[in-house]
Copies of this chain bind each other. A is one copy, B any other.
Amino acid sequence: MASQQSVLMDLSQTLRETSGTTVVDAQASGVQLSGSDAWSVSRRMLHEGPSDGVEVVNLCNGPLTVSILPTRGMGLWKAEYRDIPIGWNSPNRFPVHPRHVNLQSRNGLGWLDGFNELLCRCGLAFNGPPGLDEGAASPIESEVTLHGRIANTAAHHVSASVDDAGAGTISVRGEVDETTLFGPKLRLVSTVSSVAGSNAFTIVDEVTNMGAAEAELQLLYHTNVGRPFLEGDARILCPVREVCPRDARAAEGVDEIERYLPPTSGYAEQAYFFDLLADEQGESLVLLHNAAGDRGLSVHFDRQQLPCFTLWKCTQSEEDGYVTGLEPGTNFPNFKADERRLGRVRQIGPGETYRTTLRIEVHGSADSVSEVADRIRDLQSATEARVHREPTGPFCP
């Protein structure tokens, strides 16, 4: 039978009329996927406290469910694979509606008040720490707040589709506009998809400059993972060309980058900037796995699209948020003015689109973990990692 792409439904049309939960599955849609007969896409609204009005779209491929938050810029709240939870426990217990996040507050660090996702984007016009960007085109663009606006901007035109080619693929798509008069006019079109029955999902993002002049772009994928992947003696494996500590605090841990501490009261965050190796197709990847090596999560991306990888270690107490961030980006999360000077702020022309692809795989067995670990070791085999012991340019300003 020939492959057939059938649009199941436009969630934004069919599902938004109701405040309850709506589920589309194989039965409801009449579409069987050979990879799994238990796929579904569902939509519901949260109504509790600061989550009131937050839309959640669950993409389930059978064994794997990904919870997408259109209201929070198409971020991924959490996922679950065969009873393995994927995400972390933020002190912000629930998804926070953007209306309750004042990016300016807390001296420009208000973004932290809404931060609790497995994956959120930092961008699009800027990311990194807050401050006054004196190189900005105008006062409309010079006020930089932590990690930008996109994670707190609601998506429109949210839709779902299935393609029954091969094992079958389920997709959810949404558009997020970061626009203003006399300022940036960037549109993110994000598609989260997953092959039925698989252990992985893919994010394809297209950021288009809708304006008539060149625009700046910064885009970083803040991918945040806690237990059961992160624990004492958990490991992060990366194919490293070069790595550099962000600051003096990170420099303290430069001999132990690969290894994680258990929850540690009073631990202060450490961040490392990586230049990673890629395979012949240009794909780079990193792997986080638990101490026993039988639970792992790998992040795969195109090194050309996302040349800067940041590792964030935040192994503080469970109550405060025990987490690590695996963060591929167009840039390192230094202050925008510094990144511009170092050539890491992208320029995209009028009508131009910047495309990124990110794939996350979940590994539920020692074999699956070993396979990815071996692939990373193979990539590393021909190259000796260069490890800077102190903050160094061009990684650091």
Contacts and interface: CB of A to CB of B under 8 A. Distances in A.
A212 B49 contact: no
A317 B212 contact: yes
A91 B20 contact: no
Contacts of A153: 49-50, 100
A347 to B, nearest CB: 16
A214 to B, nearest CB: 11
Interface string A92-109: 111001111011111111
> In the complex this chain forms, how many copies of it are found?
3
Interface in A124-175: 139-143, 145, 153-157, 175
B185 A140 contact: no
A160 B279 CA distance: 59
A222 to B, nearest CB: 12
Given A113-B180, A185-B320, A319-B212, A154 B100 contact: yes
Interface in A31-67: 47-53
Contacts of A100: 98-99, 153-154
B52 A213 contact: no
Given A17-B20, A316-B212, A53 B53 contact: yes
Given A156-B51, A212-B265, A140 B12 contact: no
Given A103-B102, A139-B106, A181-B115, A320 B212 contact: yes
Contacts of A181: 90-92, 112, 115, 320-321
Contact of A154 (B52, B141, B185): B52
A177 interface: yes
A99 B99 contact: yes
B180 A140 contact: no
Contacts of A350: 319
B154 A49 contact: yes
A356 to B, nearest CB: 21
Given A50-B156, A109-B140, A112-B182, 7 more contacts: A50-B177, A51-B156, A91-B185, A100-B154, A102-B103, A212-B316, A319-B350
